[in-house]
Structure 1
Amino acid sequence: MHSHDEPLPHRPRRVLVAGVSGAGKTTLAARIAAITGGKHTEIDALFHGPDWTPRGEFIADVHRLVGTDSWTTEWMYDAARPLLADKADLLVWLDLPFLRVTLPRVLRRTVRRRWRREELWNGNIEAPLLSFFTDRDHIVRWAIRTRRKYSGVMPQFVAEYPHVVVVRLRSQREVEQWLGGSLMPAVTG
């Protein structure tokens, strides 16, 4: 597993970004795509249909995505993870402090989206804030419940997908240093 200050062994073309809800996966994926020149596809937009129903075309869309030469997306959804990992050459794991960084981010984002009634994917908006108390899968409750998930998943990922370089970023400072240093030489070199 690489750290933020280790150069990549090759220029990445197919990139996954992993982390719990609120870690900044989508933001980082878009930034990586801008640097690598690959297309960023937000995987939530492929998964969620109207009224938060899963789209029947999801897996077919993931197959189309991974069949292209260069892409960046978030590593989510159990049905898609193996398809994505098989074709990826880089996985960036956002392993940020949960209480200090990730939880405040997911709270701010959820409140902002609900307050502004921002459309997310296919006409969906955040549920009313009170649903935090009634919906076991409310995004904030989901983030809390799954906050330790990747610590257990990553050793298995490294063993199953040895062709994928894994970079673990543990702070926003490491994210910025990696984007500005370790990622760039592989891209420009």
Structure 2
Amino acid sequence: MQRILVVGVTGAGKSTLARTLSDRLGLPYHEMDALYFDGPDWATNDTFSEDVSALTAGPRWIIDSLGYPEVRDLLWNRADTVVWLDYPKRVIMPRVLRRSLRRTVTREALFGGNRETWRDWLSREHPAWWAWSQHATRHREVERRVHDPRFAPLDTLRFGHPDEASAWLASL
């Protein structure tokens, strides 16, 4: 486990798990949303693909992502391990709702200095809407990829509940 890709639907806890793994294993962690959004009004990084390519050319890293189609295959080709947080909606939705509510109320600065707002809750791009509407699609995408011979050999660790992921982390 030197090049780890942590995947799952929005709100699964990818970033939290990736940060914890980084601390435990001493691997550099790169948060994809922070690489992608680099300015106000959710401006995107013009050199995103090149930046991700440079980061993943290194021998050791942890990245949290399933999105970003422009780098998806690159990440899966360069990873040696996939940690899949394959949690049901009944686990995901309370998590993403609590997180978004906290971020909105506290005006927490996010990637590129952006913030979640009350108006954002009405958008189909809002994390809560995205987690709900994309859950099945994301599940199928990861399922297909973990069995795709183009990405072999990949060690895949699949956790169906946060307790399973916690037990695994405790064993490291």
Q: Tell me the TM-score normalised to structure 1 length.
A: 0.84
The equivalent residue for 2:37 is 48
Distance (whole Å) between structure 2 residues aligned to residue 108 and residue 98 of structure 1: 14
Give 1 or 2: higher strand fraction.
Answer: 2
Structure of higher RCO (CA pairs closer than 8 Å, 6+ residues apart): 1
Unaligned runs of at least 5 residues, structure 1: 1-11, 185-189
Shift of residue 120 of structure 1? 0.7
Give the share of equivalent positions with the same residue, in percent: 35
Distance (whole Å) between structure 2 residues aligned to residue 153 and residue 118 of structure 1: 31
Shift of residue 106 of structure 1? 0.5
Distance (whole Å) between structure 2 residues aligned to residue 97 and residue 164 of structure 1: 23
Unaligned runs of at least 5 residues, structure 2: none
Task: Give the partner amino acid of 2:93.
Answer: L
The equivalent residue for 1:171 is 161
- Higher Cα Rg, which structure: 1
Tell me which of 85, 95, 99 is aligned to 2:86: 95
Distance (whole Å) between structure 2 residues aligned to residue 38 and residue 83 of structure 1: 19
Task: Give the partner amino acid of 2:3.
Answer: R
Q: Secondary structure at the match of 1:80?
A: helix
Alignment of 1:145 with 2:133, yes or no, is yes
The equivalent residue for 1:132 is 121
Distance (whole Å) between structure 1 residues aligned to residue 137 and residue 93 of structure 2: 15
C-alpha change, 1:155 and 1:105, in structure 2 (3 Å) is closer
The equivalent residue for 2:112 is 122
The equivalent residue for 1:21 is 10
Report if the CA contact (8 A) 2:6-2:18 is conserved. yes
Task: Give the partner amino acid of 1:108.
Answer: R
